[in-house]
Structure 1
Amino acid sequence: MDIDELIELVKLHGKSIYGFCHKLTGNKEDTDDLYQETFLKAMELRLKMDAARNPKAYLISVAVQLHRNHRRKVAWRRRIAPTFELDEAAAGVADLFSRESAPEDAVLSLELRTMIQQAAHRLNDKLRLPLYMYYTADMTVEEIASALKIPSGTVKSRLHKARMAVRKDLEVDVP
Structure 2
Amino acid sequence: MAVIIHTSQYSNGTANSLLSSASLHILASYYQPLIGALVAFRSYMPVWAYIYLLVVVLGSVYSMYSINPKSSYYVVGEILSTFACFGLFFIYFNIINLSQIIVYSTLMFVYMLYWSVWVNRHHYSFFWTPANEFVQTVELGENETLEEAVFSIKIIKLLGLAFIFAMSIPVYYVYFKIVTGN
For Structure 1 versus Structure 2, the TM-score category normalised by the shorter chain is: under 0.3
State the structure with more CA Rg: 2
Structure having greater relative contact order (Cα 8 Å, sep ≥ 6): 1
Give the TM-score, by structure 1 length.
Answer: 0.28
